[in-house]
Structure 1
Amino acid sequence: AARWYEKQGLIHETMAHTLAAADYSFAISVLKQRAAQLWIQGEAKMISIWIMALPDALLQNHLDFALLSILKLLDLAQNMPERQWTEARTQSEQLMTRLKRVLYSEWKGSLSEVEMGRIHNRLHILYSLMDIRTALLASDIQEVRRLAQQIQPLAAQEQAAWKKIPLSGLFLSAQVLGDVVLLLPDLLAVKQQALQEQDYSTALVVMCWLAGALLYGGHLHSLHKECLHVQDLLKHLGSQIAIAAYPTLDLAFLFYAWNQLDKAQSSLQNAIQHARHWQDMTVLVWSYSLSVKVFLAAGKLAEAEQALQETQRLIRETGLTAYASEVMAAQVSFWIAHQDLSAAEAWTNRFLCDAAPSEYIHVEEYLALARVYLAQQQYASCLHLLAQLLSKMEGMKRHWDVVQILALQVVALHSCGEVMQGRQVVIRLLTLTEPEGYVRVYLDAGESMQQVLKTLLETSEDDGAHTTVVSLSFVSTILSAFEQEKCRLPLPQQAPHALVAQVGTQPHTHASSVLVEPLSRREQEVLRLVAEGATNQEIADHLVISLTTVKKHVGSLLTKLTAENRTHAVARARELSLL
């Protein structure tokens, strides 16, 4: 029966009947033949269970395979919730204890000194992998890095699957410490080795890490190519794996940078669906955090708020505090989009860091701090922070962050009257971003960036001074994107500091022709629903916000529109062409 099921490709039935018949030689033969495909399919747990059912005499001849199965099991469970990880670790420790007993039994003499040393090294690597997970949950990133560096020499002469373990610790710590781009040579080497060994489960994981490093390095076209390579390989293998959510998430970052927001949202939906299926909490946190930015860029404030709340819930429930800075940055972006500067200012006052980049990168949080400084018109503080951050990011070759920093520098310099210096920085920014097709970084910088680009285009066309340095067609493309943004969004997309400047400096004309203060996007949504005759409760249900929040927005509308009641507010809005 076992052999009949094996011919049909039914591995679970094959193993059940083989073990029932105590045909252990056939069992290990089938397992070793099918293991590579089963690992790709996420069957590491079942393989370990089947190995535990084999007798010691057989395991003694297949110690390397048994250890590799433990590695695959722990690797699969790395990003799973605590319960699944604990189950995988317990199962792995049981099998490791049994393997050590076999190793030191009467068969010990049959192994050479080299074989004994290799097995000892692999056991050490496996225990270190467990310790890396513990350190990561405790947000002890330096310990993660130390453990990875400690076992790296042990894996130097190993197969790609074993080299991947110290590389995983280095990659995970580098995501926080910031030097992930510096791992590109190691990632490329292990990827090539895994492909040569036809170890596709290892190759796919390393390719996903490689895509992440390419993203941070700002190599958008290479990133796109690598993600498509992963998808093609998965299609060729006819399989899906847990790590496959990572290139899908990376594509969302890529599409956001290219200002292809619909594609970014679609990629995020796929990443979230995939991560939920595989219980990958890290991908979920990253996906919902990025969703906040994408929804804000698309003017979908209600969806952004929901994504933010989900991100915060995941951090609380999983304890993945290493990613808390990205979540905090998303929160600040949400406050700024709502023009809730009081909350953003309160956050800066209790900012845990000293407003100077530390050994831990927290780059998204520092960029959020710079944006708050811009909104507060604290241009000197903003430029000081950005200068320090730029130096560090350039040292780590993180061009993804470099272009964001340069964009904020352009805005700060323009706002404080440093026109020529701002021009120099924007020329450098254009030079870095044109080859990779960045667009969104300019739109996120707001109206000040648009003005700088318009001035650059006009002066370059007049005197030809920079035509050899900057592609004027690329500048025109970005300016066209600004115009398209204005048509797509209810109000012109502006940087928060520009809105603050307008409120504080623009002269007011008669109340019937202008607003006392611009409406926020949420207030516009509420206004449209009020005009449709919706009650406060219906508005709350539609926008998924509290009744108290709706009343607050309605009150703000009445104030800004200088209206006495809801009917008067709708009439005033129509006078001002807001409806």
Structure 2
Amino acid sequence: MSEQILLTKLFVPTTRGMLVLRNNLFERLNHSLLTGCKLTLISAPAGFGKSTLISSWIETIKVPIAWLSLDERDNDPARFITYLAAALQKVKPGIGQNLQAILQSPQPLQIENTLILLINEISFIEEKFVVVLEDYHLVDSQQVDQALEFLISHQPPCMHLVIVTREDPNLPLARLRAQNHCIELRAADLRFSNYETEEFFNRIMQLNLSKKGIDLLELRTEGWIAGMQMAAISMQGLQDTDRFIQNFTDSNRFVMDYLLEEVLHRQPENIQDFLQKTSILDRMCGSLCDAILQDTSASSKATLEYLERVNLFIIPQDNERQWYRYHHLFRNLLLNRLGQNLSREIISELHIRASEWFEKTGSLFEAFLHATAANDVERAERLIETEQIGLHLRSVAIPVLNWLNSLPKSVLDTRPRLWVRSATTALVLGLSTGVEEKLQAAEAVFTARKESYHAEESDQIRDLIGQIACARATLALFRYDPAEMIIQARRALEYLHSDNLTYRFTANWALTSAFMFQGDRAGAAQANQDCIEISQKSGHVFSKILAASNMGSLQEMENQLNLAAETYHEVLQLFGDHPQPNASIALLGLARISYEWNDLIAAERYGQQSLQLALQLDSKIDRFIVSEVFLARLKLAHGDLEDALGQLIRIEQTARQRKFLLRLPEIAAAQVSVLLRQGSVSDAIPLVQRYEIPLSQARVALAQGNPSAGLAILELYRQQMEARRWADERLRAMILQTLTFYACDEKDKATQVLSEVLSLAEPSGFLRIFLDEGKPMADLLSAAAAQGICPDYVNRLLAAFEAEVSNKQATATLPGSSSLVDTLSVRELEVLRLIDQGFSNQEIGERLFLALDTIKGYNRRIFEKLHVQRRTEAIARARELGLL
């Protein structure tokens, strides 16, 4: 379910044995590394030896290296960060692995959140290391520039960044210079000096040139290393090198053209042919070159080895010398020559052969790229219809969508399937703009040609109509329009082929979601059962994940916590080691279940993991809101009332800003719980008046001393839930009924309802649903124990209450100058004890599964309550008070 990493992009180029030593530049590079400078920028035009300088310098220093060779595809920020994390694994194995699911998700990437996770991991690396970004000029993406700027701004001191580029990156270089965070090497620095020029021509290339000849070459090339290299290659074997030098032009552009001709003309015809035709490849190996050349008389592997041996601008991409690439500048010139010497038809045929080779070897995306280069629309269309191409990956979906968007309307009108594919690919990427227009364009083609279609085509058109309906069901999901979702999903199922399992699953999944929105859980369960059957038949892992996630949610709603937990764990197993953002559903489900089982540590761990993944989803998806509300309720359980309320207020503001209005009642209900715990009944009243939240309304009535009003609300709500067969809400209503009867001094009725509640709750082992109600519930359970009601379960609940009371008694009461009493919460005491054990804030966060900022907030409140300013004082004060 993840993109395969091309390891050759992480290969540190090896330097040849004979190089001009550039000690003065090495000293400047060493200085930047030793002084804690953040960035070294190597910026110069092509052919100035930038990469050679860095790779040779690397061999002289004893620090770990992360090398990343960039290309045009790295304009996608998810791909850029994916490869950056992969490069960092050369420094520290395993770093960034927990980000892979986020990065491979089809949903738009939340760049800063992802980088924060990566930077936090980098900060744990103890030794100094260097990250090299080669060919950054090939990246033309504002998002990637912003990501890199964020990384540099928060760069841990253990990391030094080197950017190798032909043009200055779009970074705040002036600010970095002013802060002494950047050193720069440019063309003037990289040019060979007179001494280095002589070293190159006479010691390295052994041409035995005169001082006059060397001076003239240096003048003509202006110290341009690539020009010198090709001049040296051209002069090898010449008797009259002086004449060559005299005829040497002083324009770099013409120098390169001239030298290329000289170099190529000195090679055998078969080598010239090889160089031109293989220049269409971003990377090449022997069998791939054999496939596109179709020359049985020569071995491409032997040719590649020859090219490397004669220094003909070829760069190995792995230590085994299986994969190579051309020097970028050399390849560009070869491509220009190819276009001049061969017809478009022949070049297209070369691309088709490359496409066929990549398809045969399973690299379908590269096969697609060569098909598009050949302008073979039919072949490209077939490849993107292949499930194995991985359209659920952003790094694949974006180029596919770009190609589809580049096609003329006349081409798309002849192939309406491509209109539909363009629309559905946009939806995969979370893009809704222009989708409906594409769907209408496809329908217009169907209508115009309706009479001319033969039977087989008509059958295909019906299926496409079904796909269009699926897309519209997804568009309706963006608008939270369940009625339209149901209409379009049912239309899709009517038109789709019976064997089109991918889209039939999508239609049933849309139905499941729509029924869940409408509260029709029975309908959702039936639609999801169809999803399960289709996913099992298709074997598509992502379909299995979505269907199982919905099944877990439905089981949870039925109070089948044990079954739901098993289902959620199965979902995580399907994701493997790198869960994607959609795993947030299963993780939040496990968080809720852990909470009900009173395992608050596991609940927080799952809840935080769920939030981090949910934040990576499209900004139009509100799933992160649910995770944040859960975590706020968890703060309430820990007694952190102020933090819980502050978080809920912030969540409400976010929901309003992003128009997530459907989440406002849920947020308000959580706010009411916190306000009532604080005794702020007057602040809770407007919330229950504004929103339809019956349980909260009943709680407020009870807090106001009007239990009879609360009973009326609860009786009606319970009847409604029983009619709907909503087991979870019915249980919550009944628990509140017991407390309300108890408040009315109707203890027999309270005990009777409690007995029903216990019989419903015991099979799944509910605990927190009782514990959260506090002492009145404990008193009711004690009465139930005296009557022998559900003795094992009641005793377990009473033991949990005793443990809860013990935890509360463990909070510290601190003496002050007045009668005011400050207390440390259970969680604050837990943090204080870890501080005493010498753990850093980062380590405490990892142990408690909390963010670093959260731990810092706990520190601040602990210091305030203890009236101290630093850790050592806090430990001393706590010992004085007997807290440690």
Partner of 2:617: 278
Q: Structure 1: how far apart are the matches of 2:778 and 2:820?
A: 22
Does the 8 Å contact 1:24/1:54 carry over to 2?
Answer: no
- Change in CA separation of 1:41 and 1:9 when aligned onto 2, cut-off 3 Å: farther
SS of 2:391's partner is helix
Partner of 2:590: 251
Q: SS of the residue aligned with 2:598?
A: coil
Are 1:90 and 2:433 an aligned pair? yes
Question: Which structure shows the bigger proportion of residues in strand conformation?
Answer: 2
- Structure 1 residue 37: Cα displacement: 3.5
Structure 1 counterpart of 2:798: 479
Say yes or no: does 1:16 pair with 2:397. no
Q: Which amino acid counterpart does residue 427 of structure 2 have in structure 1?
A: L
Give, as a single letter, the amino acid of the residue that structure 2 aligns with 1:476.
N
Distance (Å, rounded) in 2 between the aligned partners of 1:228 and 1:41: 26
Is residue 714–residue 733 contact of structure 2 (8 Å, CA) maintained in 1?
yes
1:380-395 alignment runs, 5 A limit? 380-395=708-723
Partner Cα separation in structure 2 for residue 247 and residue 333 of structure 1: 25
1:346-378 deviation line (CA, Å, top 9, x unaligned)? 444xx036xxxxxxxx5xx32222222222222
Contact 2:632-2:644 within 8 A present in 1 as well: yes
Partners of 1:42 and 1:401 in 2: CA distance: 43
- Partner residue in 2 for 1:309: 649
Corresponding residue for residue 154 of structure 1 = 491
**Aligned counterparts of 2:764 and 2:389: Cα–Cα separation in 1:** 36
Are residues 1:193 and 2:534 paired? yes
1:411 to 730, 739, 752: 739
Cα–Cα, structure 1 residues 42 and 411, in superposed 2: closer, same or farther, change >3 Å? farther
The AA in structure 1 aligned to 2:442 is L
Alignment of 1:145-184 (within 5 A): 145-157=482-494, 158=496, 159-164=500-505, 167=508, 170-184=511-525
* Secondary structure of 2:375 counterpart: coil
Change (3 A) 1:521 1:246: same
Distance 1:244 1:64, change over 3 A: farther
SS at match of 2:546: helix
TM-score, scaled relative to structure 2: 0.49
Summarize the alignment of residues 196-235 of structure 1 with structure 2, pairs less than 5 Å apart. 196-235=537-576
Structure 1 residues 223-249: Cα deviation after superposition (integer angstroms, max 9, x where no partner): 1122122112222xx764442221112
CA distance in 2, matches of 1:150, 1:542: 49
2:757 aligned with 1:422, yes or no?
no
- Deviations 1:366-413 (CA, angstroms, capped at 9, x unpaired): 222222222222211111111111111122222122221111111111
Report the counterpart of residue 300 of structure 2 in structure 1: none
Give, as a single letter, the amino acid of the residue that structure 1 aligns with 2:601: D
Q: In structure 2, what is the Cα distance between the partners aligned to 1:208 and 1:391? A: 29
Distance verdict in 2 for CA 1:389–1:43, change over 3 Å: farther
Q: Evaluate the alpha carbon distance shift between residue 92 and residue 49 of structure 1 in structure 2; reply closer, same or farther with a 3 A threshold.
A: farther
Distance 1:299 1:76, change over 3 A: farther
Deviation, structure 1 residue 301: 3.2
Q: Which protein is bigger by CA-based radius of gyration? A: 2
| CA RMSD between the two structures | 4.1
Amino acid at match of 1:149: I
Contact 1:40 1:241 in 2 (8 A): no
Q: Which moved more, 1:226-235 or 1:431-440?
A: 226-235
Gaps of 5+ in 2: 1-353, 833-855, 868-876
Cα distance in 2 for partners of 1:346, 1:520 equals 30
Q: How many Å apart are 1:192 and its aligned residue?
A: 1.3
Higher mean displacement: 58-67 or 44-53: 58-67
Compute the displacement of 1:211 (Å).
2.2
Q: Which residue in 1 is equivalent to 2:472?
A: 127
- Aligned equivalents of 1:205, 1:118: Cα separation in 2: 23
Between 1:44-53 and 1:261-270, the stretch displaced more is 44-53
Partner of residue 299, structure 1: 639
Asked if the contact 1:59–1:66 (Cα under 8 Å) also holds between the matched residues in 2, the reply is: yes
Unaligned runs of 5+ in 1: 78-87, 137-143, 354-361, 461-465, 493-511, 530-540, 555-569
Summarize deviations over 1:251-306 as a string: whole Å, max 9, x none.
Answer: 21211221211111111111111112223541111111111111111223354234
In 1, distance between residues paired with 2:858 and 2:677?
16
Query: In the alignment, does 2:702 pair up with 1:374?
Result: yes
Residues 1:437 and 2:765 aligned together: yes
Aligned AA for 1:119? L
Select which of 665, 668, 675 maps to 1:328: 668
Secondary structure, counterpart of 1:218 in structure 2:
coil
Using a 3 Å threshold, how does the CA distance of structure 1 residues 433 and 269 change in structure 2: closer, same or farther? same
Residue 484 of structure 2 aligns to which amino acid in structure 1? L
- CA separation in 2, counterparts of 1:476 and 1:115? 65
CA distance 1:115–1:35, change in 2 (3 Å): same
The corresponding residue for 1:263 is 602
SS in 2 for 1:435: helix
Q: Distance in 1 between matches of 2:740 and 2:820?
A: 23
Which range is displaced more, 317-326 or 307-316? 307-316
User: Secondary structure of 1:489's match?
Assistant: helix
Alignment-derived partner of residue 380 in structure 2: 27
Using the alignment, how far apart are the partners of 2:426 and 2:750 within structure 1? 53
| Contact in 1 for aligned 2:675/2:681 (Cα 8 Å) | yes
Shift of 1:187: 0.8
Instruction: Pick the aligned partner of 2:402 from 34, 49, 55.
Output: 49
Q: Is this contact kept in 2: 1:5–1:11, CA < 8 A?
A: yes
**Alignment-mate amino acid for residue 486 of structure 1:** V
Aligned partners of 2:418 and 2:606: how far apart in 1?
37
Hey, what's the Cα distance between the residues in 2 that align with 1:165 and 1:196? 14
Judge conservation of contact 2:492–2:504 (CA < 8 Å) in 1. yes
Q: Distance in 2 between matches of 1:521 and 1:337?
A: 17
Structure 1 CA distance for aligned equivalents of residues 536 and 643 of structure 2:
41
For the 8 Å contact 2:466–2:493, the answer to whether it is kept is: no
User: Structure 1, residues 82-129: CA drift from partner, whole Å, max 9, x if none?
Assistant: xxxxxx223534543553455456697244344434433443443354
- For structure 1, which segment, 14-23 or 247-256, has the greater mean C-alpha deviation from structure 2 after superposition? 14-23
Partner of 2:345: none
Match of 1:287 in 2: 627
The answer to whether the 8 Å contact 1:44/1:69 transfers is: no
Please say if residues 555 and 564 of structure 2, whose CA atoms lie closer than 8 Å, have aligned partners that are also in contact.
Answer: yes
Partner-residue secondary structure (3-state), 2:385? helix
TM-aligned CA distance change 1:418 to 1:156, over 3 Å: same
Please list, as runs of the form range in 1=range in 2, the aligned pairs for 1:544-559 lying within 5 A after superposition.
Answer: none
| Structure 2 residue identity aligned to 1:352 | R
- Between the two structures, name the one with larger relative contact order (CA 8 Å, sep ≥ 6): 1
Contact 1:60–1:107 (Cα < 8 Å) also in 2: no
The number of equivalent residue pairs is 485
- What is the rounded CA distance, in whole Å, between the counterparts of 1:343 and 1:229 in structure 2? 43
Larger CA deviation: 440-449 vs 52-61: 52-61
Distance 1:167 1:9, change over 3 A: closer
- Name the CA shift for 1:161/1:302 in 2 (closer, same or farther; >3 Å): farther
Task: Rate the CA distance shift 1:270–1:19 in 2: closer, same or farther, 3 A.
Answer: same
